[in-house]
Amino acid sequence: GENVEQHPSTLSVQEGDSAVIKCTYSDSASNYFPWYKQELGKRPQLIIDIRSNVGEKKDQRIAVTLNKTAKHFSLHITETQPEDSAVYFCAASRDNAGNMLTFGGGTRLMVKP
Amino acid sequence: GVTQSPTHLIKTRGQQVTLRCSSQSGHNTVSWYQQALGQGPQFIFQYYREEENGRGNFPPRFSGLQFPNDSSELNVNALELDDSALYLCASALGKGGPDTQYFGPGTRLTVL
């Protein structure tokens, strides 16, 4: 089955700096890659997703890049703010519906004011 | 949105538990995930229009039901200590095509 590795497990940045989180996946048939943000004690919330027919997607301060050949994708957050502090999870799925997701282990992002 | 009940639950080893989820209105697919402390969610199973549509690496003592009224259940028999986790349900509109999965707030299960 699919295996998703996520790095780093913790990331500390200064407010205003950029943060980059990287994920690799094993199943070349995976074609849907969402990113979730989970604040302490709360539900995972989708922040951005990308499908295999594009290499990059951007939404304000957040961008995701996908390299299908290398089987890795990355989350980029620019101009980080303290409210960006949370655990971020990448995930992969073979199904465009985003169901049956395989998650990475998570990255705890801390943005220091 | 997606709702779950109860919020917290404490059980003892060997007992049985039923967790409930109410999907977003009109969503046909519900998935259940187990999230152990400090880890990413792990897929348990998925239901589409009341039939199981996929299952992760979980034993048969994890079972589920989906009802026509947008509600679903996760049942766990013979609870073990390792079953202590946050259980999340997520609903989606359909089985295929571009879609987004919406998570509920979760049920925190503690097995003593």
* pLDDT computed for residue B97 by the predictor: 44
Would the CB atoms of B88 and A101 count as touching at under 8 Å?
Answer: no
Residue showing tokens 């109410």: B22
How many CB contacts within 8 angstroms connect chain A with chain B? 74
Tokens of A32: 């849907």
Q: Which residues contact B42 (CB under 8 A, 6 or more apart)?
A: A103, B33, B34, B35, B36, B56, B57
Give the tens place of pLDDT for each residue, A52-81: 888 999 999 999 999 999 999 999 999 999
| Confidence at A109, pLDDT banded by 50, 70, 90 | very high
What does the pLDDT look like over B64-111, one tens digit per residue?
Answer: 999 988 899 999 999 999 999 999 999 888 765 446 788 999 999 999
Give, for A67, the enclosing helix (H) or strand (E).
strand A62-67
Secondary structure (3-state) at B92:
strand
Q: Any CB–CB contact under 8 A between B5 and chain A?
A: no
Q: What is the pLDDT of residue A96?
A: 47
pLDDT at A95: 64
Is A31 part of the contact surface with chain B (CB cutoff 8 Å)? no
CA distance A68 to A4: 14
Residue A97 pLDDT: 41
Does the beta carbon of B96 lie under 8 angstroms from any beta carbon of chain A? yes
CB contact under 8 A, A99 and B41: no
Tokens of B8: 């917290």
Residue B106, Cβ neighbours under 10 Å: how many? 25
Beta-carbon separation of B46 and A100 below 8 A: yes
Instruction: Determine whether the interchain pair A102/B43 forms a contact, defined as Cβ–Cβ distance below 8 Å.
Output: yes
- Out of A42, A99, A105, whose CB is closest to B92? A99
CB B89 within 8 A of CB B74: yes
Q: Are A80 and A15 in contact (CB under 8 A)?
A: yes
pLDDT 10s digits, B18-52? 999 999 888 888 999 999 998 999 999 999 888 88
Query: Nearest-CA distance from B40 to chain A in Å?
Result: 5
Supply the pLDDT for residue B53: 83
Q: Between these two residues, A41 and A67, which has the higher pLDDT value?
A: A67
